[in-house]
Amino acid sequence: MSAFTPASEVLLRHSDDFEASRILFAGDLQDDLPARLDTAASRVHTQQYHHWQVLSRQMGERASYSLVADAAAVGDSDTLIYYWPKNKPEALFQLTNLLSLLPIGCDIFVVGENRSGVRSAEQMLEQYAPMNKIDSARRCGLYHGRLETKPAFNADGAWGEYQHDGLTIKTLPGVFSRDGLDVGSQLLLSTLTPHTKGKVLDVGCGAGVLSVTLASHSPKVRLTLCDVSAAAVEASRATLAANGIEGEVLASDVFSDITGRFDMIISNPPFHDGMQTSLDAAQTLIRGAVRHLNIGGELRIVANAFLPYPQVLDEAFGNHEVMAQTGRFKVYRAVMGRKAKR
């Protein structure tokens, strides 16, 4: 979070307009502009734990992390700067929440990359804050409007669910594979054998489908699930509860808040952070796993076949095998031995 994103660079073209504003930043924050922009006051609300970790170090209590923003997070803000995410239902959930809390007449700025579909902001907000495009640069659009009507926000109405192998999977906007099990996770699940035992860590747990499926045929596993997304954390907790399965679910940027060692770590790691391609999380997962696995424990991940993970696995563990593959995905397994780089 040091270099500014294209969206932030567009905002900086209008920095003089924000000097007297009390700004609430929200949405798909990818840098620390909220902590560095010259304003009368700045606050941040984010659903992404790793973004909150960075910004809270600079902004303290003026940075908040949660699924739903509340009045304390908004404070006395008179301006919203919203970074458009790539997921439209996520944008609708977050904007409805924020606009229900902000004062009538509040300035609303929406910025995002054109490929993310940011132009949808005009239609989405037309009944609350009619938007006009005021700038276009760096393949981004910047839109402005003023809040005329507050939307009604009902967080409970955002929940969805689907069935998988007789299990109920609870989901929320922005959670990976919200509408059904993705092909990669299905391939990973096909390699998990019944009667698995021991402590299992599910990194980047999403809606919790990997963990509940494993526990359904291996009831002796002890589950810990983690994700950076507040929506994923809440969805996984709800999925465990809906299926009567016990487990600890917590916010963590890969291993940032994880303690102890495990017998198995499973993951369908992301290779995007917002709109940006990023292998950081997966590489941190692989290299950090050796410090969180018992001897003989294993890391099992699914990844797009073209991603360069075999070399990283061999560097960290000294071994890897491909357990299953399709034209698009591979499931890798690496076993913790005494020669792994701890």
Tens digits of residue pLDDT in 57-77 = 999 999 999 999 999 999 999
Helix 309-317 with 280-289: angle, nearest 10 deg: 20
78-128 residue pLDDT tens: 999 999 999 999 999 999 999 999 999 999 999 999 999 999 999 999 999
Q: What is the chain's mean pLDDT, rounded?
A: 93
Cβ-proximal residues to 205 (8 Å cutoff; 6+ apart), any chain:
211, 225, 226, 227, 232, 233, 236, 249
What is the predicted pLDDT for the residue at 341? 61
Q: What is the pLDDT of residue 277?
A: 46
Please say whether the beta carbons of 14 and 142 come within 8 A: yes
- Structural contact between residues 22 and 103, judged by C-beta atoms closer than 8 angstroms: no
- At 275 the pLDDT is 45
For 210-274, what is the HEC assignment? Answer: HHHHHHHHCCCEEEEEEECEHHHHHHHHHHHHHCCCCCEEEECCCCCCCCCCEEEEEECCCCEEC
- Split at pLDDT 50, 70, 90, the class of 265 is very high
CA dihedral 179, 183, 184, 187 (to 10 degrees): 130
Q: Kindly report, residue by residue over 200-232, the tens digit of the pLDDT.
A: 999 999 999 999 999 999 999 999 999 999 999
Q: What percent of the chain has pLDDT over 90?
A: 88
The C-alpha atoms of residue 120 and residue 201 are separated, in whole angstroms, by 38
Integer-rounded Cα Rg, in Å, for the chain is 21
At residue 179, the pLDDT reads 79
pLDDT above 70 for 243: yes
Per-residue pLDDT band for 272 (boundaries 50, 70, 90) equals very low
The answer to whether 302 touches 291, Cβ cutoff 8 Å, is: no
CA gap 224, 203 in Å, rounded: 9
Question: What angle do helix axes 230-242 and 209-217 make, rounded to 10 degrees?
Answer: 30
pTM of the model: 0.94
| 200 strand-pairing partners | 223, 264
Cα separation, 89 vs 96, whole angstroms: 11
